[in-house]
Each structure stands twice: as structure tokens, then as C-alpha cells.
Amino acid sequence: MSLRVGKAAVLGAGVMGAQIAAHMVNADIPVTLFDLTAKGSDPSEVAKRAIENLKKLSPPPCVTRDRLGYIEPANYDQNLEKLRDCDLVIEAIAERMDWKLDLYKRISPYVKPDVVLASNTSGLSIEEMGRALPEALRSRFCGLHFFNPPRYMTLLELIPVAATDPALADGLEAFLTTVLGKGVVRAFDTPNFIANRIGVFSILAVFHHTQELGLSFDAADAVTGALIGRASSATYRTSDVVGFDTMSHVVKGMNARLGSDPWHKYYQIPAWQQAMIDKGVLGNKTGFGVYKRDGKIFTVFDPAKQGYVPSGAKADPAVETILGLEDPVEKMAQLRQSTHPQAQLVWRSLRDLFHYSAYHLVDVADNARDLDLGARWGYGWREGPFETWQASGWEATATAIRADIEAGRAMADAPLPAWVFDGRKGVHSPQGSYSSRENAVKPRSTLPVYRRQHFPEPVVGEEWPNGKTIFETDAVRMWTTAPPGSDDVAVLSFRSKANAIGADVIAGIVEAVRRAESDYKGLVIWQARPPFSAGANLSAANAAIERGAFDAIERAAGMFQQMTSALKYAQVPTVAAVNGMAVGGGCEIVMHCARAVVAFEARLGLVEAGVGLVPGGGGLKEFAERAAKSAGSSNINDPLTFLTAPFQAINSAKVAANAIEAREMGFVRDSDIIVFNPNEILYVAQQTARGMYEAGYRPALPPLGVRVAGRGGVATLEATLTNMLGGGRITEHDYRVGKGIANGLCGGEVESGSLVGEDWLLSVERRQFVELSKTEKTQARIKNMLETGKALRN
């Protein structure tokens, strides 16, 4: 990766610009945020107010509020000199070409010669913008299109143009992929690029067919959301989220720039939506749009009645049955054959989306994979249009589409391209994806940054190597990634539901550690799909409780503790590669590995209190040891000082919302590594293990003694529980669970300041775990969690 960004600037402090700045500081890049000069006493008030408004957004654009301090407010009249220090400048002002061109002329004298300059536009011509720049800067310019909200949306479209330096585009793609954690798709300089071109057309198609079939808006949403692998906001609720004004702007751009398009007459928003815009009703940003809440009643707009009616339409059971079919070929066939309006809505909107995507592939995307990934990442679809088509039977679906076109039932009469009928079974294969522009199969990018992704997100039809198996059971698989130079660090993956940890997984981990110590430079624990682990197998624990086999429960807890100890004291480095959620016992595995490589948005926590238990796999022991170490290396000799925050987090079963918060809460150590792109964590974990091994890794020696807070610490934490109980914030059983956690953290019934060994701390944990499992209220909590998936307060 050749591009280094020490400091960035964002021009435009609107909703997108401010959130782009926030994500930059998430990645430890300081940002200067520019906007117009305010008329009052503070010329940078506009940018300052935008930074302050970031605190109010949900979900939060910045990982912690204090990071907003690294966004410096600025204005164009006084502060353009600050651009001289910026390696990356992203323009994100309103979608007005004249405004953008004026701004480029204004900033050009102040930017570095080797700056990377980009426009975050949703569809304006990058070529036209670039021509406004001095000749020397044109090779440094390209388009970028972040999706809202920038922190959470995977897609980032990169639009280089003829003048863009190819090396700059490659370096920028690597930076965006690794440093900002994005899924980068290169787009052509066409209206709305890839994702909005396809996604907005899909919305317009549903709008059209909803009206044609006489369906209500909520009835349409009931079958165009999660049931077909789309975002739960479906179609009309998505338009509320996006904003009617934004939708209108994008659609008007398509109407103005795509005059010869066969679908041109559909590039307009419906009359009912335009009427709402005229009244200032824009969707969620103005409080309501298609949907509106009246007290406790949710309502939906009815164009026929020109008002709101109660909302609550659901998928017809027969249609839901069709959409639930596992065989996509049969599903598509039944959708075509069904006469139910909801089934026809799904078939017709998919038919026209497939037609549109095939016709426009040549001018919208380099290949079918880029189009599918753009739609998936930009709109939250489970599959892109070509993936859905290919999975549902390419030839039969194509024949049905052609028949509907010829019969005048499709939205446009343009024929499907000839390549659709050349005998192919789809557009994706193990060799790559079809490019209609080059009439060839295009493999994945060979940029060096993608060597960091052993398993990038596949599209339908792709096959990924399984690596080389070392050993496998029904519960785990130990393997290597196999290519030369990457088979020296072993990987262990779980096979249980939600990667839960039962006796068979525990045995697999112990065996993997033994084999890694014998034959490999390290061991990485990594799961192909999140979560990392949902924790201990609660069903197995419940079965033992129902049998009254509490001796077996204690033995199982002891085995779990031996396993985490094996990870901690292995003779080769053990690395937890964490994506998704790692809670309960999964979090304890992370805490005991020599190092953790954690995806930025991973969630970690010790949540056993939620089912009336205490962490029993060494998690409390680890916090006790760390508190003792912190106390011993500071002027504060009392370990209790360093246990208050962990006690509160564990007692409330709090889960860190991201890796940064997990570090602050103590589940992730300062020495652990946070990775922004989850597809890179396996590679980074392997490299971490390798580096530790080559540096002469030795596990830490067990502590000769851990100075604990003892009875005094327990009493202090118990006083907190007493206050919470008296205030009605916890129940009596919560109190009992909290006291068990306090005992585990403080070392149990010993004098404050006593030195105890790890075995003692582990025995305190086990005893509290088993004693709580004997109580009726804990048993009720476990059963409720298994039956409902929710915590019971009793």
C-alpha cells in the first residue's frame, strides 16, 4: 500500500461530509472539516455545529465522542492554508456542479502537489469536475461515493477517469479497503454509478408495480424486504429513510442524463411523493413520510384516500410459503405462476430488475460481480440481481423474461442482450464474472491489498479453496490456508451452532493447541462466518441442571478453565481472530489467547449475568490478575480501584458496541490489534502469530501470587448492589448474582491484600458458577433464554 494519509480534509459539513470526517477519525486520521463562513462572531460556526450534531445521530458515526475532538472546524475564507498539510481532500458539498467547480478553483492554489483530491458525489460527472482543476492536479483527482451512514455501509464506489493516475487509484483503493474497512467497487463515470443506478431502479420498479397491482404500500413492503433477502426497511420504508428530497434528486439526475434510455419514462418520482415534497414532508428527516406514527398506532399513506390509514399488512401465507422455499429455481417458478398480487409484485419487479441489469451491464459496470457487490453492499441485499437470477435458473428465467418483453408485459421493450442466450448457465463462475464490455470472464482484482483477504465475500457461482485439513471432528476443524508460505500457522474453526462452546469444542481446542505446539508457528482461532462465539453451550448446561448433575457441571467448568489456560500458556502464540460477536465463553477465549485481532465493529462482553450465572471460564480471574498488575505498577496499591468498572460491565451483562469500547472495558488489551476490514482479520492474525514466533515468543509465566481485594473488596461492591436493590434497579436474584461476580473478581473469602494463586481464583469462579446453577431463579433464566432468546428479570 503506497498511499499514506497523515491528515485529511473534508469540504462540506453537511450530513455526509461530517460523517465521512467522523469515520476518518475512527481510523485515527485527524480531519479538518470545512464549510461556509458564518456571519456571527465565530466564522467556523457552521462546521462546529456540524461536529456537535454528530453526537445526536443514531447509530453513532464516531466510535467514541472524544474522537470528535480530532475534527478541526474551519471555513473557506480564513483557513484554506490548512489544506497544505492534508494528504487527502474529499469534497462533499451539495450536488450542484456549478458550486463544485467554483470550489475547486478556489482550493487549487492551496493543496499539495501530491494530494489525493476526490469528490463524494452520488452521480455527477467526474470528468466534468476534473476539467475545472489545473492540469497538474487532474491526475490526482477521482470520484468517491460513500454510502450513508459512512461508518456502517460497506460499499465505497471509486470512480477514476481518463486523467486519473492509475497508480493513485490503486493506492487509494488499498487505503480505502484496509484503513477505512470498505468494500471498494470501481465504477464508470455514468449517472449514479453502479449501486444507485441499480438500487434506485429497483425501487422505481416496485413503485410502478405496486400501483399497477393495486397493492397498499405496507403490503408491498411486506414482500420486498427480508423475505426476499433485502433490508428489513424493504422499499417504501427505505424511501422514508433515504429522504424523498434525496430520492427526487437522484431520479431527476437519471431523467436529465439518460434521455435515450429504454426505461426513461420511469425516471420520475410518483405524483403522491412529489405532493409530499411540495408540502415539506420528506420522510424520517421530517418526522414522517410514507409511514407515520399517531400515538401508539402506526399508519401508512394511502394515495387513493390522500391520507393515512392503519398499517399492518403482512405477506399472504401462501406467498410467504413460496418465498420460504429453499430451492430458488422452484421459488422463481412458483412466483411466476402465482396469481396473487404480492407474488406477482415480487416476480415483476425482479423480472424488470434482471432485464435492466443485463441491458445496462455494458455501460454500468466492468463486470457482473462488481454490479452484484455494489447492489449488495450499497443497499443491504443478500444477493445482487445477477446472483438471484443465476441461482433461480438462468435459462428458464431468461426465457420467461423474453416472453414478457415480447408480450408487452415488461417495463421496457428493449430486447435482452444476445449474450444472455449464448448457452451460459449464469454470469459467475470459479474463473470469474462476465464482462459484457469485453465479452470475457474477468477474475477478481490482483491488487496486492486483496492478498490480505483469504476469503473475500463470494458471489453465487464462485468457489473458494478449503485449505488443507490437519484434523477435523463434528465440532471443530484444524487447517491451514495451504498456499506456499501460509501453511506454517494453523487455524481452528468451530462447527457448532452460533459457534457455541461445548465439551466437544473444548476438546478440539485442547487438541489443536497440542498439535500447534508440535508442528506450527502459531494457532489462530477464526470463524468463517460470525459470530466468533455465542459462548458456552447453554442447552447442554440446562440438560445437566435438569438431571441435577451438578458435579458434572463443575467438571465441565473445570475443563473449560483448563482449555483457556492451555491457550494462555501454549508454547506457541495463540491468536483470536474476532469478527461479529464474542460473548460469554467466547469472550473468555479471546481474553486468554496471547493476542487478539479484532474487527472494528466486533462486539465483546461477559454476559453470563443475563442468565443468572457468573463467568466461569477464567474471565473473572483475568480481571483480578490485571487489576493486581495495574495496582502494583502504580501509586494506587488497592486492586479494587481497577475492578469497579469491570464489575459494573459484567454485572450488567454489558456488551461492548465495538472494538474500541471493548478495549476501554478491558475485554480487548492495549496490545491487541483492531482491524477495520473484517475480511482481513485472518491474514493479520496469521501474520501476528508468525511475527511473535519469529521474535522468540514465550508465554508469560504464571503469577507467583495475585494480590486480591478480598473480603473488603467484596463488601464495597456489595454495598453498591445494596444501593441498587434499595432503589429498585435490580432484583434480589440480581443481587445474588452480583455478589458472586464480586467474589470472583476479589478472590473470595480472604483478607484484603492477600496473595493467592490462579488455581484459587479459578476455584472461586467455579464455586460461584455451580452454586448459582442450583438456584431456581437461575434455572428459570436459563430456560427462558433458551425458549425466547431474551433475558428474564426475576
CATH code where residue 487 lies: 3.90.226.10
Name the nearest CA neighbour of 467 among 451, 443, 483.
483
Name the nearest CA neighbour of 336 among 420, 382, 392, 386.
392
Q: Is the same domain home to 151 and 28?
A: yes
End-of-domain residue from the set 441, 476, 499? 441
pLDDT of residue 123: 80
Q: Is 776 exposed, middle or buried (0-12, 13-18, 19+ CB in 10 A)?
A: exposed
| 3-class state of residue 162 by DSSP | coil
For residues 459 and 385, what is the distance between their CA atoms, to the nearest angstrom? 11
Other residues' Cβ atoms within 10 Å of the Cβ of residue 670: 5
Asked if 616 and 769 count as a contact pair (C-beta separation under 8 A), the reply is yes
Write the CA distances from 356 to 24, 97, 359, 371, 412, integer angstroms: 36, 28, 5, 12, 9
CATH number for position 421: 1.10.1040.50
Q: What is the 3-state secondary structure (H, E, C) of 665-676?
A: HCCCCCCCEEEC
Asked if 607 and 790 count as a contact pair (C-beta separation under 8 A), the reply is no
Q: Is the same domain home to 222 and 268?
A: yes
Chain centroid to CA 274: how far?
Answer: 34
Write the CA distances from 682 to 525, 531, 677, integer angstroms: 9, 14, 10
- Would you give the end-to-end CA distance of the chain in angstroms? 55
Q: Is the same domain home to 244 and 155?
A: no
Within 520-605, residue ranges assigned H as helices are 538-547, 550-568, 585-592
Q: Is the same domain home to 677 and 562?
A: yes
Q: Is the same domain home to 413 and 561?
A: no
Q: Is the same domain home to 548 and 681?
A: yes
Structural domain includes residue 240 = yes
Strands across the sheet with 595-599, in order? 468-472, 476-480, 489-494, 522-526, 574-578, 595-599, 673-675
Structural domain includes residue 346 = yes
Structural domain includes residue 537 = yes
End-of-domain residue from the set 441, 460, 486? 441
Q: Is the same domain home to 78 and 181?
A: yes
The string of pLDDT tens digits covering residues 762-782 is 999 999 999 999 999 999 999
Other residues' Cβ atoms within 10 Å of the Cβ of residue 180: 22
Structural domain includes residue 451 = no
Q: Is the same domain home to 225 and 311?
A: yes
- Would you list the DSSP string of 590-619? HHHSSEEEEETT-EEE--GGGGT----SSH
Structural domain includes residue 381 = yes
Length reported for the chain: 794
Q: Is the same domain home to 347 and 430?
A: yes
Q: Is the same domain home to 63 and 145?
A: yes
Q: Is the same domain home to 520 and 426?
A: no
In the chain, which stretches have pLDDT less than 70? Answer: 1, 484-485
Structural domain includes residue 379 = yes
pLDDT of residue 295: 85
How many domains does the chain fold into?
Answer: 3
CATH number for position 49: 3.40.50.720
Write the CA distances from 518 to 470, 479, 592, 649, integer angstroms: 12, 14, 20, 38
Using only C-alpha atoms, what is the Rg of the chain?
29
Residue 309 host element (H or E) = strand 307-310
Domain extent, residue 580, equals 468-778
pLDDT of residue 682: 97
Indicate the residue type of 494: F
pTM of the model: 0.94
Structural domain includes residue 199 = yes
Q: Is the same domain home to 141 and 255?
A: no
For residues 695 and 673, what is the distance between their CA atoms, to the nearest angstrom? 17
For residues 448 and 174, what is the distance between their CA atoms, to the nearest angstrom? 8
Chain centroid to CA 378: how far?
Answer: 12
End-of-domain residue from the set 140, 155, 186? 186
| 3-class state of residue 574 by DSSP | strand
Structural domain includes residue 463 = no
